[in-house]
């Protein structure tokens, strides 16, 4: 069975919840770039660089020269970056929900009436 980057991408996308979180990834990156979302740069840049490496045609171990190892390096990068990126998106969604509902739960002076 011949592996290609298309097959690798299909395997990565089949990761539980990855496709649903793609819009959240873009929103997280936008808010990080604006300086609204506080996160360490390394925690967002490394997973994005890993995905960019798998998508790009440039490889350290090209599939043409070394067929098995060329695919294995892409699989290794995907297996490290996708879970890390999903974990960061989950943290972002939690932060976003806290920001959204923090203004709603304020208590104003009130009295209890029987």
- Taking each helix axis from N to C end, the angle separating 22-34 and 41-55, rounded to the nearest 10 degrees, works out to 130
Digitized pLDDT (tens) for each residue of the chain, 114 residues in all: 455 555 555 555 555 567 788 888 899 999 999 989 988 888 888 888 888 888 887 777 776 777 777 778 888 888 888 888 888 888 888 888 877 766 655 556 666 676
Query: For residues 37 and 54, what is the distance between their CA atoms, to the nearest angstrom?
Result: 26
pLDDT for the residue 109: 66
Q: Where are the domains of the chain?
A: 5-102
Query: For residues 13 and 19, what is the distance between their CA atoms, to the nearest angstrom?
Result: 6
Collapsed DSSP state (helix, strand, coil) of residue 28: helix
Stated pTM of the model: 0.65
pLDDT for the residue 97: 82
pLDDT for the residue 27: 92
- 61 and 68 Cβ atoms separated by less than 8 Å: no
Query: For residues 49 and 51, what is the distance between their CA atoms, to the nearest angstrom?
Result: 5
């Amino acid at each position: 069975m011949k592996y290609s980057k298309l097959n690798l991408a299909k395997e990565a996308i089949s990761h539980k919840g990855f496709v649903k979180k793609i819009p959240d990834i873009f929103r997280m990156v936008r808010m990080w770039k604006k300086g609204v979302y506080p996160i360490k740069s390394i925690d967002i840049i490394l997973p994005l660089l890993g995905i960019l490496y798998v998508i790009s045609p440039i490889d350290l171990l090209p599939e043409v020269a070394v067929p098995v190892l060329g695919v294995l390096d892409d699989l290794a990068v995907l297996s490290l970056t996708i879970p890390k990126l999903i974990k960061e998106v989950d943290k972002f969604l939690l932060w976003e929900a806290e920001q959204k509902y923090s203004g709603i739960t304020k208590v104003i002076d009130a009295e209890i009436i029987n």
